[in-house]
Amino acid sequence: MSSQGRQPVIALALSIVCTLVFAAAGVFGQAKVDAEIPGFASARVAKEVELEKSFKAIPDAAHAEGDLRQLTSAPHVAGTAASKHTAEWLLAQFKSDGFDAQIVTYNAYLPLPRQAELDLVAPQQVQLGTPEPPVPGDTNSSDAQLMPAVSGYSASGDVTAPVIYVNYGTPEDYRQLDSLGIPVKGKLVLARYGRDYRGVKAKLAEERGAVGLILYSDPEDDGFISGDVFPDGPWRPLDGIQRGSILYTQIRPGDPLVANNPDGKRLSPADAKSLPHIPSIPISAKDASVILAQLGRQKVPAGWQGALPLTYHVGPGDAIVRMRVQMDYAERPIYDVIAKLHGTSDDQWVILGNHHDAWVYGAADPGSGTSAMLEVARGLGQLARSGWTPRRTIVICEWDAEEPGLVGSTDWVETNRSELQEKAIAYINTDVGVTGPAFSGSAVPSLKGFLRDATKAVADPQTGESVYGAWKDRAGLASDSLFGPVADEPVRQPPISALGAGSDFSPFLDYAGIPSMDVSFTGDYGVYHSRYDDFYWMQHFGDPGFVYEPALARVIGVMALRLAEADILPLDYGTYASEIARAEDDISSRAAAQPGATAILKPAMDASVDFSDAAMRAADALDAFSYDPAKEGAINRDLVGVEQALLSPPGLSGRPWFKHTIFAPGSDTGYSAEILPGVTEALDHRDLNALQTESTALAEALHRAAARLNDAASQADGSNASPTDLGH
């Protein structure tokens, strides 16, 4: 049926149709039943099941505990000798497991703190910015050699000014201040963590004319309101401090001086658009309360009151604060560890990744993920020593300088983009790998069904049922869509969120168009980016018994094995089409309120129908496909190429590094995903010129993606139908 003349409101109906069709067909027709694994020819299923069984028997708690103890033995901030030492230790582990491993070194523009001080100077003198105190029984917390708590990529400065409390420092918060007639120009702003990325808070403060940014964690958000605080419980104590980068990664992550120009010439700091220009310090809630107690003017608006035992006021009041920040900026070496287990097809890569640098000890973030990844390597290495060779090469990456702003992974992806786009099948990320027993996953839509299937093959250590079963029991049944369920949605499963930003999957998806996932086990985690995120906390609260790190290793390992060994890659573009259609229904409703917007968006809406039609055709063709090794390579290249086809070479308006037309972190959130980001933000800004540009780019990307799906269908067409050949 032709798409000509269809109206944008068809999107909701199309969403329902896509969901029904693909629920019936499974992942390209690969319905899940006992002992069947989507993507595998029937004759190879039993061998894959046995391979996974052998792998799952290898990861264990003792190894995970020992590795985590080593990883947390000292602070290892990016750009220091300790981070290099960590990389060298990881290199030795991968080599001992039989991987072809190396350290890849980059020089990145990184700051280290020389001075970070904050003082209340009126109405009385009080030293603020006090370090986190040691905790009895936790030997790591007693280390007196820790760097001062800083905001990564803060500007240097010495400023003295009144203070304005800006709640979370979101655009809406500043609009409320405007309505109250309270400017922040020339003031220090005090913002609590939450709602958006700290780099967004810094950029908005800078744009509003603030002279500095003070950040703190309010106990309403991750302190005693949630439960017992450390060392009696897992939550942040009043004197805990959340470190973190304020690099404007919502504009572009990675080394801020990289220009991505043909001659490789680096930018000057003055020309780097992702660098902040105001100083910033993170402090404890205890110190923040000293400032809040001195703020005057009216009581804060509804929703701005936190949990500290005082009435919050906006200010300015009597509080005058002096902030002194001196950062040592320099080109510093960072150390990525790249380990390969070569397959018979070395021109196809399954990539796993995690970072190894930390703000302090980094037990949960990232050590728990690193210890899990080491168990994956140990398991795969033992399989290889027993005589197995993967069909596709498995690459395990340990990134440096993630905490400052995804620097190590971004450098590697930018350097190797062409090879990655030619060879990479998928990227599986973990970061804060384990903070409790609740499984959580994020993925591109094409991999959501695959991720759920993998969790059905791994036992949950606490409940004894599958990870999937425990996940479903804890999470309840919900929709994956950012826009919630539709009334007739037939499949309700534990939700998998969209990928936003904040970890190393971002350059793979947003810049290179590699299908990506992020997985973890989550729980009550109040010591994020503090000195208390150490081995003691993990031992007592994050993973007592160290059983969930091996469980995470089993989930990641099963996914790696299935992607490495599959005949036809289990990528589900029906789900992709459904989610795009539902997003476009929302876009259409918003466009109707802006004269001219609906007409501008019509080509993109028609292209979405083209993409959905192609996804259905590919599903039908692959459902009837009788496995033919001669066609495997071409079909898989087309299926993987769909994600790359969704990139727009010029990138999004105002932030060209982000090239994905379907997913990107929001400009004003920095972490959470925005679907159809170009047209969404153009509508937000009521900018019809930008809407025209972004709608055209979206339409072209959807047509390119549809062409890849039609090519895959054409490769499969004409095969003898056999519903059992690919694990149906």
| Mean pLDDT over the full length of the chain | 91
| CATH of the domain spanning 115-328, picked from 3.50.30.30, 3.30.310.80, 3.30.365.10, 3.30.300.30 | 3.50.30.30
User: What is the β-pairing status of strands 212-216 and 280-283?
Assistant: parallel
| CATH of the domain spanning 10-41+572-716, picked from 3.40.50.300, 3.40.718.10, 1.20.930.40, 1.10.3720.10 | 1.20.930.40
Angle at 115 between CA 357 and CA 318, to 5 degrees: 120
Please tell me the predicted confidence (pLDDT) of residue 4: 33
Query: Where exactly does CATH 3.40.630.10 map onto the chain?
Result: 42-108+332-565
Alpha helices, DSSP H, located in 668-725: 677-684, 688-716
Nearest to 433 by CA among 353, 498, 521: 521
The 8-class DSSP code of residue 420 comes to H
- For residue 655, list its beta bridge partners: 652
C-alpha span between 353 and 105 (Å, rounded): 17
The 8-class DSSP code of residue 406 comes to S
**Structural tokens at position 272:** 């780097």
C-alpha span between 657 and 158 (Å, rounded): 33
Asked if the peptide bond before residue 231 counts as cis, ω within 30 degrees of 0, the response is yes
What pLDDT, in 10s, does the model give residues 489-534? 445 789 999 999 899 999 999 999 999 999 999 999 999 999 999 9
Q: What's the rounded mean pLDDT across residues 349-376?
A: 98
Query: Where exactly does CATH 1.20.930.40 map onto the chain?
Result: 10-41+572-716
**Structural tokens at position 491:** 């499949």
C-alpha span between 364 and 16 (Å, rounded): 40
The hierarchical CATH code for the domain 42-108+332-565 is: 3.40.630.10
Q: Which of 48, 398, 402, 694 is catalytic?
A: 402
Q: How far is CA 314 from the centre of its chain?
A: 33
pLDDT at 144 exceeding the cut of 60 = yes
pLDDT at 485 exceeding the cut of 80 = no
Please tell me the predicted confidence (pLDDT) of residue 311: 97
What pLDDT, in 10s, does the model give residues 168-218? 999 999 999 999 999 999 999 999 999 999 999 999 999 999 999 999 999
Query: Where exactly does CATH 3.50.30.30 map onto the chain?
Result: 115-328
Q: How confident is the model at residue 22 (pLDDT cuts 50, 70, 90)?
A: very low
C-alpha span between 298 and 320 (Å, rounded): 18
Q: What's the rounded mean pLDDT across residues 85-114?
A: 98
Q: For this structure, is 402 an active site residue?
A: yes
Q: How confident is the model at residue 627 (pLDDT cuts 50, 70, 90)?
A: confident
